[in-house]
Amino acid sequence: MIAMHSGFMCLRKILTTCIFLAGVSFSYAQSPSTTSIDPQNSQAAQSNRRVIGDFADLVEKASPAVVNIRTTERVTVYQVPSNITPQDQAEFLRRFFGIPIPGLPQQQQPKSPNQAGPKSQEQERGTGSGFVIDGSGFILTNAHVVEGATTIYVTLTDKREFKAKLIGSDPKTDVALVKIDASNLIKLPIGESSKVRVGEWVLAIGSPFGFDNTVSAGIVSAKGREVNDSITPFIQTDVAINPGNSGGPLINTRGEVIGINSQIYSKSGGFMGISFAIPIDEAIRISDILRTNGRVVRGRIGITITELNKELAESIGFIGRPRGVLIRGLDPNAPAAQSGIEVGDVILKINDKDIEKGADLTRTVSEVKPGTRVRLLVWHKGVTRELNVPVVEIDTPRKS
């Protein structure tokens, strides 16, 4: 188990309003300017410049692959017949809420069932967005969009509605894969989020507040953002995103999906200029696992870590530039403790890869197949040593 401590806790406090959405909202009023860029710099820059101002054609091609997702859940309700007497009402309260009938001794309280009883009914739970990645009916969305749903309804742009089957969901990355019984669907081409450049134009399509196929545009503001306790390095944009847009696609100017819109930073519950998308490279990797296994199995070694800053480094006698992560806690029954790692140690590398921040370690360990080992370079009271630590399966819903 790897649990981020002070670094992520501080970020969580800052992002108290970084909320999960169930949809996307977009508003774009002006055509972006075509600032001169040296065409020798990048083919992507050339492509971007050619497409700017022509979003209409792009949206026309992409929109049919974007879907609205509506979820319901079945709940138990208790109904009181309209023609019952006050005595019957008192019995109802007694039977279902434990409230005794006034004026009757305990031994005289009735025990027979009332006419009222529990009934199961379906009620709306939430809405979101998604997009087709396979013409045979496979659709990507957010895990939080379908979490807890009894029934998932998918509506296409041509107004056809289907009941969808949940193939699998991974709350850790907020990716879910659903399937509808359809064929020859228009699908979105998959881009490469690893090639996304800060400053490039992007579009979002979704159903903010239930308004289907709403489009907004903006730019990529940053990459590799760590948000809350997620292990996903988000793409940050200034594209307008609002409730109902979760699960919708983030599209580049070549019409390729580069991310799944997932979260926003907000103090009001609405869009305030910062939104986050799951990189499509990671989303597709997770969806492939879900399609094969129905769930994602992750590894853990049983440690609690925190970022190593200058003050912490000086307090433990760590000389040089603060790097790596500090061990704050250990599960005594987990592999790390049994391999000789101690509280106060600093993990510098994993499998020869430098650790600059806690997410580097968390992400790498979580992706290791349980039953295999990782090589850790560990600083211990002034001495570095290499340890081979076995990885075990994370205990759901335990955090890695």
Return the active site residues.
144, 174, 246
The answer to whether 333 and 139 have CB atoms below 8 angstroms apart is no
The answer to whether 163 and 151 have CB atoms below 8 angstroms apart is yes
Report the candidate in 207, 240, 237 with the shortest Cα–Cα distance to residue 225: 237
